[in-house]
Homo-oligomer: A and B are copies of this chain.
Amino acid sequence: MLSEFELISRYFTRPMAPDSRAALGVGDDCALLTPAPGMQLAVSTDMLVEGRHFFPHADPHALGHKCLAVNLSDLAAMGAQPIAFTLAFALPEAREDWLAPFSQGLLKLADEHGCELIGGDTTKGPLTISITVFGEVPFTQALRRDAARDGDDIWISGTLGDARLALAGYRKELPLDAATLHAAAARMHQPTPRVALGIALRGIAHAAIDVSDGLAGDLGHILARSRVGARLDVDALPAGPVLRTQAQTLRRTFTLSGGDDYELCFTAPQSRREQVLAAAEQAGVDVTRAGVIESMPGLRLVDAGGEPLDLAPSSFDHFSS
C-alpha cells in the first residue's frame, strides 16, 4: 500500500511548466497563483460521486478525463482560458492500477488545455472526486448567464442527446444493440469541453451556459437570470450522430432534457450571426441556431412547423431523482 505522500508524489507531482502562472505547485500549505494584469479569475467547482455521476468500476482513464472535462466546460461557458486546477479526492484504497490510468486521463486533458495541477488533497473514503478549476477572462468580457437580451438568437454547439441515449442503454430503458450503445457511450464517457469556442465568443455572445443537466433546464437558468423568455424550435436542435437514427419522440426528449452533453448554449444578437459562425469555425465546432430570446417570460417549445409542443421537460435534480 502506498502512503498518501508517495501516492501524491508518484502520480500527481510534475515539474512546473516554464511559463507557469503558479509560483508554488503541489507541496506547500497553499499554491500561489498570479492572474495576468487586466484579467479576472473564473472559478468553478464540481463534485463527482461514484454511483451517482459515474458507474461503479468506471474506467479510470475515462473518469480522469471526464472529471476535469466537466469543470473545463464551466470555464468554456464563461469564455475563460483555463490556467490551473486543484484536485481533492477520496478513494477506498490507494491502488496503483487505478491511480495510474486515472492520473493519465486527467493530466492528458489538462496538458491539452495548459491547465496546471497546483494543489490537492487525498483521503480514504467512498470514491468521490472534487475539482476546482481556474481560468482567466478579460474584465467585462465574461459570458454571464444574466446577459441574454430580447431578440437574441439561441445557439447550441456540437450535438445533444447521445450521452443520455447511452445512459438509457445502460439502464435498459431502451433496447440498444451493442454497436449503438458503444457509439453513444463514447460521448458519455469522453465529453469535449468547448473551451476554444467560449474564448472565441468573447465580445460576440451575450449569455452562455454549459449544458450539463439538460438543455431545457440549463437554458431556463439563462432565462431566469436574464429575466426574459424564449421560443425554442425543438426539431432544429442538433441531435447526436447516434440519437439521430432514433425515433422523433426520443430525439426530441433527449436533445431537450438529456443531460451530460457539455455543449455550450449561448445567445447572441441577430446582427452577429456571421461572427458567431466565424468563431465556431475558428474553434473547429459546429453551432446550430435553434430559437430566439423573447421578452415574455417562460420557455415555449415549438416543432419544425412552428406549432407548440407539450413535452414537459424536466431538468436533472441531484436530490429529487
A318-B42 in contact (CB<8A): no
CA distance A34 to B317 in the complex (A): 31
A308 at interface, CB cutoff 8 A: no
A41 at interface, CB cutoff 8 A: yes
Out of B32, B44, B93, B94, which one reaches A30, CB within 8 Å?
A: B44
A108 at interface, CB cutoff 8 A: no
CA distance A134 to B236 in the complex (A): 43
The closest CB in chain B to the CB of A80 belongs to B30
Asked whether A126 and B49 contact (CB < 8 A) given A7-B319, A41-B35, A43-B118, the answer is: yes
Q: Which residues of B contact A43 (CB under 8 A)?
A: 30-33, 84, 86, 118-119, 132, 134
27 intermolecular pairs with C-beta atoms under 8 Å apart: A4-B319, A4-B320, A5-B317, A30-B42, A30-B75, A30-B77, A30-B80, A32-B41, A32-B78, A32-B142, A33-B40, A33-B42, A33-B43, A41-B41, A43-B134, A44-B86, A45-B88, A45-B120, A45-B121, A45-B130, A45-B132, A46-B121, A49-B126, A53-B123, A90-B128, A122-B319, A132-B132
8 more CB-based (< 8 A) A-B contacts, given A2-B319, A4-B319, A52-B90: A24-B142, A28-B225, A32-B137, A35-B35, A43-B119, A44-B86, A49-B126, A52-B124
Residues of A within 8 A of B (CB): 1-5, 7, 23-24, 27-35, 37, 40-49, 51-53, 74-75, 77-78, 80, 84, 86-90, 93-94, 118-126, 128, 130, 132, 134-135, 137, 142, 144-146, 208-210, 225, 317-320
